[in-house]
Amino acid sequence: MPGGADHRGIRPGVHSADAFAPAAFGRGWPGPVNLDAWVADHFDELVRFRRHVHAHPDLSNHEQPTAGLVAERLRAAGLQPVMLPKGNGLSCDVGSGEHLVALRADLDALPLPDVKDVPYRSTVEGVCHACGHDVHTTVVLGAGLALASLGDALPGRVRLLFQPAEEALPSGSLDIINAGRMAGVQEIFAIHCDPRTLAGQVGLRVGAITAAADFVKVDLSGPGGHTARPHLTVDLVGALARVVSEVPALLSRRVDVRSALSLVWGAVHSGVAPNAIPQTGTVLGSVRCLDHAAWELAPKLIEQLVHQVVAPTGASAVVEYTRGMPPVVNHPHSAGILTQAAVSALGEESVVDTQQSMGGEDYSWYLEHCWGAMARLGVGRPGEALDLHQGSFDVDEKAIGYGVKLLAEAALIALHERVV
């Protein structure tokens, strides 16, 4: 099978996974209209929906307009969405029965200006969908509507989860979980846009596919003084410089290199005058880690290293460590279903290998509750070199149809194997 998958749809080289291989699914799309035809009939509508969301982005924790738009479309299809208490996210069950799988999307945009010259350019100054959440939302909506068209032929329930605040801490997946929307879910699937993979391809792997992502803040303080007499006070800026340069270097020597535990500073603040030693200073950074065990050790280890580095300077240090999310670890069974769904819906050539990235994704919190996997949905165009979290980011909109087919087929396979 192209892309390196074996006959069961399990990625090789990480797990043998014999016990988790999904059952063969050869029944085809069980509705009166096949999946290809459904997507073709609704493709223009889905593109319009995505463009509207793209043009009207909402920042994290303020997604009420987008959530309301999704709910309106679901109600028009005869479904009954349930809003989160703040109205900035929702869930919606499609079908009925005891067997329940979920599809997840995220609604929020980023505080970045949209620099594209397109008709659907963001109308909100300084805010744009630079990570593809508009596509994620459209794909899960489309997959849900396609599955709803099956009526009684759908062998169970599919819960559509539209979460807020993927780009913020605390993350919006916890809002979904704390609202009880994961209750009864047996398996969950999601996509993430990948501009480095061409539209029509799906990147899959078993095991960790993202990194853990946390934030750290270090506040230093001292008595302050004149730069002509640093020996009479604490050279606070010098102490900050030691934290910035030495803590990441020491950290790399305290964990296995394969864990790739990385601390990178993003902001330093201190002082206002060239001849005055300040009394306070702050440095902010992010922690990334490929390994769950090293991620568990990171808060205590980083705090120890900060105090170790600062002690000789005479400054006082306070470390504030904010947990973000663990790595997304694709379960072999769920990754197998996504692989099988990609082959079934898009063709064998659609499946490509993908690597674990240092990016963080709060989808990982769902995987603390049930099996699941995330696929990288190719959205790239030939010859383009766009990347995520850039104001120029855009997608090949054919990827919307491919994503709908992938997730609808995955949900159907997962439900079918539970009832046979």
Q: Which residues are annotated as a binding site for Mn(2+)?
A: 131, 133, 167, 192, 389
Residue with tokens 């963080």: 360
User: Tokens representing 36?
Assistant: 């290809």
Q: How far apart are CA 134 and CA 51, in angstroms?
A: 8
Q: How far apart are CA 322 and CA 190, in angstroms?
A: 25
Cis peptide, bond prior to residue 274, ω within 30 of zero: no
For the chain, percent helix, then strand, then coil, each to nearest 5? 35, 25, 40
Strands 371-380 and 202-204, by their bridges, are antiparallel
The residues near 407 (Cβ < 8 Å, ≥ 6 apart) are 103, 139, 140, 143, 189, 191, 341
3-state secondary structure of 40: helix
User: Tokens representing 368?
Assistant: 């603390």
- Taking Cα atoms as reference points, which of 39, 70, 74, 101 lies closest to residue 416? 101
Q: How far apart are CA 164 and CA 89, in angstroms?
A: 5
The residues near 59 (Cβ < 8 Å, ≥ 6 apart) are 108, 109, 110, 111, 127
3-state secondary structure of 312: helix
Alpha helix (H) residue ranges in 189-331: 236-251, 292-310
Strands 157-163 and 276-277, by their bridges, are unpaired
C-beta separation of 220 from 280 below 8 A: yes
The residues near 264 (Cβ < 8 Å, ≥ 6 apart) are 248, 285, 286, 288
Q: Cite the active site residues.
A: 108, 166
Q: How far apart are CA 388 and CA 359, in angstroms?
A: 10
User: Tokens representing 275?
Assistant: 């001849």
Residue with tokens 């609808």: 408
The H-or-E segment that residue 177 falls in is: helix 172-178
Annotated binding site: 131, 133, 167, 192, 389
Number of Cβ within a 10 Å radius of residue 111: 13
User: Tokens representing 35?
Assistant: 């999946």
